[in-house]
Amino acid sequence: MAKFPDLPSVSSLVKNLDLSNADFNLTANKTELQGAIRTIGSQSTAVKEFLQQNPSAENFTKAATAATARRTELQNLIDNPNTPTDLKSQIQGKIDDLNVDIADFNARARPGGGGTPNAPEPKPGDAANQAANNAAEVAALRRELDDLKAQNASKNETPETMSQKAWQFAKDHPLITIGGLTAAGFAAYAIAKMAKSEETERRIINVEYAQAGTFGLRNKKLIKITFSPTERITMGDVITISGSKTTPSIDGAGLVATQILSDSAFIYTAPQDITGLQSGGTLQVKTSFEAQFMDATRETAKGGGSIIGGVTGGIAGGIGDGISSFFSGLDATAWIIIFGIIALVFLFKR
């Protein structure tokens, strides 16, 4: 029987560091802690590879126990006032990953969770049937939702309602997989995602028109906003902007993206022309379980994809919306210029 991987404690990985030392912020010490964080990541990968080859309920239970102990140690590092602030976000990222892993391991350790000691050999076609059934279940759930419903849910979502909906979903759909995660794993992911989104206020580092303009014309309602640090925004999220420097201000709550460009930029359609562009201000993202589900299953519903790839889902539609918004946003003067150009073209052709 294969032996479960040995996982040294976090304290043993950072044994040469004295967290009580006021000089802990020295570069050499920070480098050592960064090395420990990388080691934790590689060890987690080794455990998952082991579980793929040895998927017993006993091994999943051991993995959940080891991950829980490691999470506690990492939390102690975050709570220690001498831990460098710029490293705490990296440590929190590992904790978020462990939360997802722990929920996944515990789900698989339960009877019927995929980690039974004497699991029967899969029959030919079982994998294809399971994938087809999963896609059908995801499609059925998506038919009950859309981005607008997700946005409405995001406006009122709280950590408590997110947790209730996420774990109820895992209970109601124990066999479903989303973006490579079990239902329990996805529930933990969504909860961690909301916590991370709400705890961080992001800086608006650039504001510009979303279109270069044709013949000097552009839709001044379509604004491209670039922010930092990065955040995976979904089409179902709502955004609050504060302290913006544009004229007029684009401050507001419950705002939604017209198009998502990347994890650091999106297009927003303002209710009126923005005549003065200036960077500055902050934004905060509010999500919901519905928004995370829609985002993670955009590609899954088509027969593939993952949570990482889901962000592309709303882009194609956003392009069409952008073209439509360009023409609908032109004022009377702009239309006179356009018709004048068209008239000149016809005159020259004659």
Identify the pLDDT of residue 306: 39
**E strands in 133-201:** 177-178, 181-182
Residue found under tokens 């952008």: 322
Q: Are residues 207 and 239 in the same domain?
A: yes
What pLDDT is recorded for position 179? 77
Write the pLDDT tens digit of every residue in 224-278: 999 999 888 999 999 999 999 999 999 999 999 999 999 999 999 999 999 999 9
Q: Same domain for 219 and 321?
A: yes
> In this predicted model, what pLDDT tens digit does every residue of 101-140 receive, in sequence order?
887 787 777 665 454 444 444 455 555 666 777 778 788 8
- Of 345, 335, 305, which is closest to residue 179 (Cα–Cα)? 305
Beta partners for residue 255, in sequence order? 239
pLDDT above 90 covers what percent of the chain?
23
Q: Which CATH number goes with the domain that contains 314?
A: 2.40.30.20
Distance CA 48, CA 68 (A): 15
pLDDT digits (tens, 9 = 90+) for 302-321: 544 433 333 223 322 332 33
* Burial group, residue 28, by CB count within 10 angstroms (0-12, 13-18, 19+): exposed
**Residue 41: what pLDDT?**
76
Angstrom distances, CA of residue 278 to CA of 1, 127, 230, 293: 64, 54, 20, 35
pLDDT tens across 168-185, in order? Answer: 888 788 778 887 788 888
Number of domains in the chain: 3
90 plus 132 within the same structural domain: no
pLDDT in tens, 136-195: 878 888 888 888 899 999 999 988 888 888 888 887 887 788 877 888 888 888 888 888
Residue at 86 is within a domain: yes
Claim to verify: residue 216 and residue 236 sit in the same structural domain: yes
pLDDT interval class at 337 (50, 70, 90): low
Query: Same domain, yes or no, for 164 and 265?
Result: no
Nearest to 17 by CA among 83, 67, 70: 83
Of 76, 109, 142, which residue sits at a domain end?
109
Average pLDDT score over the chain:
76
Beta bridge partner(s), residue 285? 239
Are 81 and 142 contained in the same domain?
no
Are residues 249 and 179 part of one domain?
Answer: no
pLDDT tier at 212 (50, 70, 90 boundaries)? low
263 and 100 in contact (C-beta within 8 Å)?
no
Dist. CA 190–CA 212, nearest whole Å: 37
Give the residue from 81, 109, 137 where a domain finishes: 109
Of 246 and 76, which is predicted with more confidence?
Answer: 246
Residue 183 falls in which region: left (phi positive, over 0), alpha (psi -120 to 50) or beta: alpha
* CA–CA gap between residue 73 and residue 69 (Å, rounded): 7
Residue scoring higher pLDDT (174 or 334): 174
Residue 284 or 211, more confident: 284
- Find the domain containing 22 and state its range: 10-109
Residue 210 contacts by C-beta under 8 Å, 6 or more apart in sequence?
219, 222, 223, 224, 259, 267, 322
Compute the residue count for the chain.
350
Answer yes or no: do 99 and 132 share one domain: no
- Split at pLDDT 50, 70, 90, the class of 38 is confident
* Per-residue pLDDT at 332 exceeds 80: no
Query: Residue 290 belongs to what H/E stretch?
Result: helix 289-296
- Asked if 258 and 267 touch (Cβ cutoff 8 Å), the reply is yes
Q: How does pLDDT run across 19-31, given as a tens digit for each residue?
A: 566 555 555 567 7
The DSSP result for 103-143, as a single string, is HHHHHHHSTTTT--TTPPPPPTTHHHHHHHHHHHHHHHHHH
Residue 29 has a CB neighbour count (10 Å cut-off) of 19
Q: Are residues 140 and 105 in the same domain?
A: no
Residue with tokens 């993670």: 296
Q: Which two tokens stand for residue 127?
A: 């994998």
Residue 217 included in any domain: yes
Question: The tokens of 37 are what?
Answer: 């964080």
**Residue 18 half-sphere exposure toward CB, CA atoms < 13 A:** 5
Distance separating alpha carbons of residues 30 and 32, to the nearest angstrom:
5
* Coil, helix or strand at residue 298: coil
